[in-house]
Amino acid sequence: MLLIGSLALMAAQPLAGALAVRIGSRPLVLAGGLVYTAGLPLVGLAPTLALFVAAFVTIAIGSSVMDVSMNAQGVALDQRTERPIFASFHAAFSFGAMAGAGAGGLAAGVGLEPAAHLPIAGLLLALVVLAARPGLLPATTDARSDGPLFARPSRALASLGLLAFCALLAEGAVSDWSAILLDRETDAGPSLAALGLAAFSLTMGFGRLAADPLAGRFGRVAVVRGGGLLAAAGLTLALLSTGAVIGIAGFALMGAGLAGLFPLALSAAGETDGPAAPALAAVATSGYGAFIAGPALIGLLSEATSLPLALSLVVVLCLAAAALAPAAR
């Protein structure tokens, strides 16, 4: 089900970027957000497998439209401010993911069924989307009556796509495998092992808040290069550790290092030649493809070798991200 939804998301993103060029990103933020939130109750209420798949596809389409258009809004707003603020929007994403996971855990803890929980969540989030409407930039900000609907595959855009690929494959690998690694390879135990992902998410959220000021002072290239090296060092520490505390600390360092890579790649994509939305869609699709395929690849490699050895590939990808830092200029 997750794979079907993810494939739908990747297919819809370039189309969303093309549509944003013609009608502007503002109406697509609202439309995508409302479709996304409308899909949540459908997941909880779907009585058959076919309707369950349809609910996931609805969420995926809404998510892809909202993702591309709200990043286009973020780039346009970032260009109007005296200091960079784009990465801080992605920090809100990290904290929102933590809040959503926490709310889901609380709902399960009190015995609230998905058929009741998800409609409540969908309604509340739809109200949030509508509350954000007055603050969005007008559609005329980035709507164009002519020009290309899809991003030209330039060398700069390809390099940014590779940077996003490395960053999000690393994020996906940690999301799916960090707890299993700590449980198997250290003295953490199942409950303590979950703190590896929690520490990773926490430092990533605060790291994204810091990414904009650091990029404003030292430049995007230095932040991406330093972040890639720090992420590689953090994961190496986690892989070599036999103790839970050091392993969790390694994932915390990795989260801080990866924090700025994807948002700064998107920020740079918004400054390439041509409309921002198609360029953002191209880079985002490359990154999300890695986020989806990466954990499965790590699983296959771990079956053939071992989980630590398979995750060492992610160390190489973090180093590759550092090497690709000049693309963020």
Query: What is the pLDDT, as a whole number, of residue 191?
Result: 65
Mean pLDDT of the chain: 88
The b-or-e profile of 88-113 (16+ CB within 10 A means b, else e) is bbbbebbbeeeeeeeeeeebeeeeee
Q: What is the mean pLDDT of residues 30-51?
A: 92
Classify residue 260 as exposed, middle or buried by CB count within 10 Å of its CB (0-12, 13-18, 19+).
buried
**48 vs 250: CA distance, rounded Å:** 43
Residues 55-71: pLDDT tens digits?
989 998 998 899 889 98
* pLDDT value for 193: 78
* pLDDT at residue 276 in the model: 75
Given a cut of 90, whether residue 127 has pLDDT beyond it is yes
Q: How far is CA 188 from the centre of its chain?
A: 27
d(CA 159, CA 165): 10
256, two tokens: 């801080």
109-123, 134-148, 166-180, 314-328: segment of lowest average pLDDT: 134-148
Give CA–CA dist 235/257, Å, rounded. 10
Of 162 and 193, the one with more pLDDT = 162
The answer for 258, left when phi > 0, alpha when psi is -120 to 50, beta otherwise, is: alpha
Residue-level pLDDT at 144: 74
Residues in the chain: 329
Q: Work out the pLDDT band at 289, boundaries 50, 70, 90.
A: confident
Residue 256: its pLDDT value, please? 96
pLDDT for res 319? 98
Place of tokens 């198997």: 184
Q: Does the pLDDT at position 54 exceed 70?
A: yes
pLDDT recorded at residue 2: 65
**Domains (range + CATH), the chain:** 2-138 (no CATH), 155-328 (1.20.1250.20)
Does position 84 have pLDDT exceeding 80, yes or no? yes
pTM recorded for the entire structure: 0.79
263 and 280 Cβ atoms separated by less than 8 Å? no
